[in-house]
């Protein structure tokens, strides 16, 4: 029976949700997949780090973070000084890299994952930065080391997008896609339809935890652009950086725009799209008015949708309803199982 040592680099909402999911699935993973595991390292920017090659008390770690205490008290080794030191000393078989995304460079997550792969670990991440800035580099390194670099949770959380094309659509070439990939802006636009101001809708999104204190990554379209870049880079095999995506956010949409669209039976959505043109691709993230005959029209709240067109199938849509840290955590768990089974 294989036993896997896991390390969690990043222990915010997603990292904690992953730890809880792993614990809840422990018996099932053993009985259904013959997989056992222990977590030998956890590190976080705000709550210290713990290293224990014999396994960390996960429930205890979750309680410590909840209480605002430091994870250092669970460590049997000197706490890690930074992410690189942590990876070098965690003695893991699998690294879950879940540090905050860097849209411009993908660092330090790129270096974290590269080191983990060089040391013989599988590299799994919910961080979009390494996908758009170092996909080929990390994939080649993973192949060279006979390990996996997986990232299902980077776009639409746990919905099977990358694994769908990797495993279930052999020989299919992606021609185009269109969708709503940023749930925060979709929620904001929906609340503006109900009469709220832009500022009030943003505040609500912050209060329920789906928008950051600085919401610019969402409302200015950067989060959507990096997701478009990830899909194009991986599924179309055309390297694309977020800055190369034609991008317009939702700040310019005013209540009167919302009202006019509503009076004509239409709705505003932040639409992501890509269209292959030979060896090139045209991409866009921009607010658009959609009609009831569009599959995007009925997508409300924090629900997301992407509609794919391939050279061998008709339209294929994936919808994810009300995502959260728990669905992102499942994407990470699925990648773990796909890497080791």
CATH assignment of the domain containing 246: 3.30.360.10
Residue 125: CB partners within 8 Å, gap ≥ 6? 96, 97, 98, 109, 113, 131, 150, 151, 153, 154
Q: Are residues 211 and 301 in the same domain?
A: yes
Partnered with residue 36 across adjacent β-strands are 3
Partnered with residue 280 across adjacent β-strands are 277
Report the distance separating Cα 44 and Cα 72, nearest Å.
Answer: 10
Burial 129-154 (b: 16+ CB within 10 A, else e): bbbbbbbeebeebbeebebbbbbbbb
For residues 253 and 193, the answer to whether their CB atoms sit within 8 Å is no
Q: Are residues 304 and 332 in the same domain?
A: no
Look at residue 210 in the predicted model and tell me its pLDDT.
86
Q: Kindly state whether residue 165 falls inside one of the protein's structural domains.
A: no
Report the distance separating Cα 228 and Cα 210, nearest Å.
Answer: 20
Q: Are residues 15 and 93 in the same domain?
A: yes
Q: Kindly state whether residue 39 falls inside one of the protein's structural domains.
A: yes
Q: Are residues 12 and 131 in the same domain?
A: yes
Q: Kindly state whether residue 164 falls inside one of the protein's structural domains.
A: no
Residues in the chain where the model's pLDDT stays below 70:
none
Q: Kindly state whether residue 58 falls inside one of the protein's structural domains.
A: yes
Q: Are residues 197 and 73 in the same domain?
A: no
Tally of domains within the chain? 2
Q: Kindly state whether residue 137 falls inside one of the protein's structural domains.
A: yes
Residue 107: CB partners within 8 Å, gap ≥ 6? 129, 133
List phi, psi (to 5°) of 233: -60, -45
Q: Are residues 288 and 194 in the same domain?
A: yes
Q: Are residues 203 and 246 in the same domain?
A: yes
Q: Are residues 143 and 199 in the same domain?
A: no
Residue 307 has which token pair? 């509609």
Look at residue 141 in the predicted model and tell me its pLDDT.
98
Look at residue 113 in the predicted model and tell me its pLDDT.
98
Q: Kindly state whether residue 163 falls inside one of the protein's structural domains.
A: no
Partnered with residue 281 across adjacent β-strands are 276
Residue 5: closest CA among 68, 55, 80, 59: 55
Q: Kindly state whether residue 25 falls inside one of the protein's structural domains.
A: yes
Q: E strand or H helix at 174, and its extent?
A: strand 174-180
Partnered with residue 177 across adjacent β-strands are 274, 308
Q: Collapsing DSSP states into helix, strand and coil, what is residue 148?
A: coil
Look at residue 45 in the predicted model and tell me its pLDDT.
87
Q: What is the CATH number of the domain that holds 70?
A: 3.40.50.720
**Domain of 296, in residue numbers:** 170-320
Q: Are residues 288 and 145 in the same domain?
A: no
Q: Are residues 130 and 182 in the same domain?
A: no
Q: Are residues 13 and 143 in the same domain?
A: yes
Look at residue 204 in the predicted model and tell me its pLDDT.
95
DSSP label of 173: -
Q: Kindly state whether residue 275 falls inside one of the protein's structural domains.
A: yes
Residue 311 to residues 192, 219, 236, 274: CA-CA distances in angstroms?
Answer: 38, 33, 12, 15
Look at residue 211 in the predicted model and tell me its pLDDT.
85
Q: Count the neighbouring beta carbons within 10 Å of the beta carbon of residue 13.
A: 15
Residue 98 has which token pair? 């879940």
Q: The whole model's pTM is what?
A: 0.95
Q: Are residues 332 and 238 in the same domain?
A: no
């Amino acid at each position: 029976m294989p036993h896997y040592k896991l390390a969690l680099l990043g222990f915010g909402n997603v990292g904690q949700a992953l730890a809880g999911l792993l614990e809840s699935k422990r018996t099932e993973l053993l009985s259904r997949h013959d997989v056992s595991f222990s977590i030998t390292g956890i590190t976080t920017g705000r709550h210290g780090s713990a290293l224990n090659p014999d396994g960390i008390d996960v429930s205890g770690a979750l309680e410590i973070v909840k209480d605002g205490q430091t994870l250092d008290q669970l460590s049997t080794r000197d706490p890690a000084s930074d992410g690189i030191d942590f990876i070098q000393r965690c003695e893991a078989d699998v690294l879950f890299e879940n540090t905050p995304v860097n849209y411009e460079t993908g660092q330090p997550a790129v270096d974290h994952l590269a080191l983990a792969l060089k040391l013989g670990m599988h590299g799994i991440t919910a961080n979009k930065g390494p996908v758009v800035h170092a996909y080929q580099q990390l994939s080649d390194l993973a192949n060279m080391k006979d390990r996996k670099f997986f990232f299902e949770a980077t776009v639409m959380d746990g919905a099977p997008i990358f694994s769908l094309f990797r495993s279930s659509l052999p020989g299919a070439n992606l021609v185009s896609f269109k969708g709503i990939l940023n749930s925060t802006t979709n929620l904001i636009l929906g609340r503006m339809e109900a009469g709220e101001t832009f500022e009030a809708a943003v505040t609500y999104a912050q209060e329920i935890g789906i928008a950051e204190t600085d919401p610019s990554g969402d409302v200015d379209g950067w989060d959507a652009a990096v997701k478009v870049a990830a899909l194009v880079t991986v599924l179309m095999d055309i390297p694309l950086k977020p800055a190369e995506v034609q991008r317009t956010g939702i700040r310019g949409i005013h209540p009167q725009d919302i009202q006019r669209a509503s009076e004509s039976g239409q709705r505003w959505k932040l639409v992501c799209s890509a269209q292959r043109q030979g060896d090139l691709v045209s991409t866009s993230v921009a607010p658009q008015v959609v009609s009831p005959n569009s599959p995007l029209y009925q997508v409300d709240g924090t629900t997301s949708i992407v509609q794919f067109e391939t050279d061998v199938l008709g339209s294929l849509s994936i919808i994810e309803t009300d995502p959260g840290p728990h669905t992102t955590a499942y994407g990470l768990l699925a990648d773990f199982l796909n890497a080791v089974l």
